[in-house]
Structure 1
């Protein structure tokens, strides 16, 4: 009998302010810029998880607008659900997981990110469009 593959589910929140800037973090562990997010806990909904993760990492409380994409890292077995959000309150503050937190103009933000994470912000930046994309990557590059 073969074992079932193990997967982890993560969530990320791509929040935009009234000026169209995106809320990004520079991670403590690897120095990379990304939208805030993390592992979904067993007893929470994806929407609850993204609100929790964004707040824990940035100090900004957000409200979820909609799911904007599903992404799978084929190397690590991580499935990420990414949501577009808007801020409700709070000021960007660094945390144990985020060395820097900032509201960044969209193009400047995606220029700082590897392609597998920049596409998440790009997908969330669309006001409307085709159905939610499901993209695969190797942790850095889209496949």
Structure 2
């Protein structure tokens, strides 16, 4: 069992303001628009990880509301737990991890993000919990 492949666990926050806009970042490492998130640290709860990642990537603190979906990147073995959040303050324009931080409408999210990331945002506006698999860009059937 020592050579059994391992998964990486990530968390992300879908931060929604009073106007139903979503806080998104343009990542410095690849230039893609995504919800703020990253690898869960060993000593963190899921909610602590979401709060830390959103703060690091956007400069704001959030209230974590609820789990909205679980997503697996089948190519890279990454499992992401995605939570809907409420902002407690206003974001910065850029951070060390994000070249841009801005609010987008759902239509803007669908245009700017790959399907594998846009669906995380749209799922956060629904009441049921979603589980989905993707190849890093597109959803898998």
Q: Shorter-normalised TM-score: what interval?
A: over 0.9
TM-score by length of 2: 0.95
Question: Residue 60 of structure 2 corresponds to which residue in structure 1?
Answer: 60
2:65–2:86 contact (8 Å) kept in structure 1:
yes
Question: Residue 95 of structure 1 corresponds to which residue in structure 2?
Answer: 95
Shift in Å at residue 110 of structure 1? 2.2
Residues 19-52 of structure 1: CA distance to partner in whole angstroms, max 9, x if unpaired? 1110000010111100000000000001000000
Residues 43-65 of structure 1: CA distance to partner in whole angstroms, max 9, x if unpaired? 00010000000000001111100
**Residues of 2 paired with 1:43 and 1:11: CA distance?**
14
Q: How many residues end up aligned between the 2 structures?
A: 140
For structure 2, the 5+ residue unaligned runs are none
**Residues of 2 paired with 1:133 and 1:123: CA distance?**
7
Counterpart check, 1:136 vs 2:102? no
Shift in Å at residue 14 of structure 1? 0.2
The equivalences for 1:1-143 within 5 A come to 3-126=3-126, 128=127, 130=128, 132-143=129-140
**Residues of 2 paired with 1:2 and 1:40: CA distance?**
22
**Residues of 2 paired with 1:2 and 1:17: CA distance?**
45
| Secondary structure of the structure 1 residue equivalent to 2:17 | coil
For structure 1, the 5+ residue unaligned runs are none
Greater than 4 Å deviation, 4+ residue runs = none
**Residues of 2 paired with 1:52 and 1:110: CA distance?**
25
| Secondary structure of the structure 1 residue equivalent to 2:121 | helix
